[in-house]
């Protein structure tokens, strides 16, 4: 399994959950991977875990809403590995769980700064490096909530709908530079980030076989199942695919 041998990948928010699984899968496929997160301790733990498997990994702190941090992330990627072939934009926040009408202006600003604006600017800033490589690829992590907004995370859902549009809007500007751009839309995935959605047991007991409304497979998804799709999109196996969002949600409805 070496579809990405010789490639260099950069994955944001990649020390836990879906991001970590993506970094792990890309490394398994042969890529050299740069991981990042807001906290140095988390970065170091993730780097150590991946290096135990003999992967070529580099980690750095990056708060994607800060332009200096984004610049450092890209600069360190180029300094360490000399190029960039794959960019995975995974960073996201959801500071409120509850009625969307209770979302404050500052919460809206934080959500869109991290989930949307930062994704756009990181992609824009990475394009000169991606353009320099053949068959380079960008993957954005959106959400099934972008198709069917969830009551508990309404503002977050709206930001993920925006990423569906961003993926489409960037197709022509990217393909002119030889870069494919796609997205995935995970469903209810077993991560700390989405725990309030899949753990409905008052005692905190994990409930993996909850039958979610509209989920044909009827279980929580795993980060690895998302990572598998990202690895495909980043590889030459997806060389004729751009501007698409692949839903990884167990059959949940996914139409705007």
Active site residues: 156
Total Cβ atoms within 10 A of residue 121: 14
Instruction: Write out the DSSP string of the chain.
Output: --TTTT-EEEESS-SSHHHHHHHHHHHHTT-EEEEEES-HHHHHHHHHHHHTTT--EEEEE--TTSHHHHHHHHHHHHHHHS---EEEE--------B-GGG--HHHHHHHHIIIIIHHHHHHHHHHHHHHTSTTEEEEEE--GGGTS--TTBHHHHHHHHHHHHHHHHTHHHHHTTTEEEEEEEE-SB-SSTTHHHH---TT----TT---TT-SS-S-B-HHHHHHHHHHHHSGGGTT--S-EEEESTT-----
């Amino acid at each position: 399994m070496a579809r990405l041998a010789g490639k260099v990948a950069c994955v944001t928010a990649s020390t836990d959950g879906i991001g970590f699984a993506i970094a792990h899968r890309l490394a398994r496929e042969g890529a050299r991977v740069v991981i990042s997160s807001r906290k140095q301790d988390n970065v170091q733990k993730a780097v150590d875990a991946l290096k135990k498997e003999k992967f070529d990994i580099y980690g750095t702190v990056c708060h994607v809403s800060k332009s200096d941090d984004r610049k450092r992330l890209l600069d360190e990627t180029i300094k360490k590995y000399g190029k960039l072939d794959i960019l995975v934009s995974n960073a996201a926040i959801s500071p409120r769980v509850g009625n969307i009408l209770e979302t404050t202006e500052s919460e809206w600003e934080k959500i869109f700064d991290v989930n949307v604006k930062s994704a756009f600017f990181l992609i824009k800033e990475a394009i000169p490096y991606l353009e320099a490589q053949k068959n380079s690829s960008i993957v954005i992590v959106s959400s099934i909530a972008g198709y069917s907004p969830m009551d508990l995370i309404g503002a977050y859902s709206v930001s993920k709908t925006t990423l569906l549009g961003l993926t489409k809007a960037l197709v022509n500007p990217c393909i002119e530079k030889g870069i494919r751009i796609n997205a995935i839309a995970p469903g209810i995935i077993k991560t700390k980030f989405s725990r309030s959605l899949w753990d409905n047991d008052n005692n905190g007991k994990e409930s993996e076989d909850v039958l979610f409304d509209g989920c044909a497979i009827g279980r929580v998804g795993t980060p690895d199942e998302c990572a598998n799709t990202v690895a495909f999109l980043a590889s030459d196996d997806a060389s004729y695919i751009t501007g698409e969002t692949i839903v990884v949600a167990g059959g949940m409805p996914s139409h705007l």
